[in-house]
């Protein structure tokens, strides 16, 4: 499924390619209201496939992490713990000094 806007009339244009049971490919191009209906019909199926492939937690493929420093007081002594935290909330202890 591809979609975009016509450069001349600025109307929504949707192109959908389907594979039939006999192996042939059929391409359908629609403009304006019909394009909006096709987009609304097929967009949830495409977005659902992407949502299933997103990994969260310890197996996050995002790769972005930030540092979190916490201070713990034990027996009157201050200890700083440094964590690497990703945006899913997974913590990894780096330094315990």
- Predicted confidence (pLDDT) per residue in 7-21, tens digit: 888 888 888 888 888
Does residue 71 sit in the same domain as residue 44? no
- What is the number of structural domains in the chain? 2
Does residue 37 sit in the same domain as residue 66? no
- Predicted confidence (pLDDT) per residue in 21-71, tens digit: 898 999 888 898 988 888 888 777 666 655 555 555 555 455 677 888 888
Q: How far is CA 52 from CA 18, 37, 40, 64, 76, in A?
A: 22, 24, 19, 20, 49
**Residue with more model confidence, 32 or 96:** 32
Q: Return the pLDDT at 22.
A: 92
Does residue 8 sit in the same domain as residue 49? yes
pTM confidence score: 0.43
Residue-number span of the structural domain to which 89 is assigned: 59-96
Q: Return the pLDDT at 66.
A: 82
Q: Return the pLDDT at 24.
A: 92
């Amino acid at each position: 499924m591809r979609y975009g806007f016509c450069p001349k009339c600025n109307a929504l244009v949707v192109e959908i390619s389907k594979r039939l049971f006999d192996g042939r490919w059929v391409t359908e191009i629609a403009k304006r209201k019909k394009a909006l209906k096709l987009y609304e019909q097929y967009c949830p199926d495409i977005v659902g496939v992407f949502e299933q492939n997103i990994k969260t937690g310890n197996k996050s493929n995002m790769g972005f992490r930030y540092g979190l420093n916490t201070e713990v007081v034990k027996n009157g002594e201050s200890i700083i713990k440094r964590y690497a935290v990703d945006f899913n909330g997974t913590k990894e202890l780096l330094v315990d000094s």
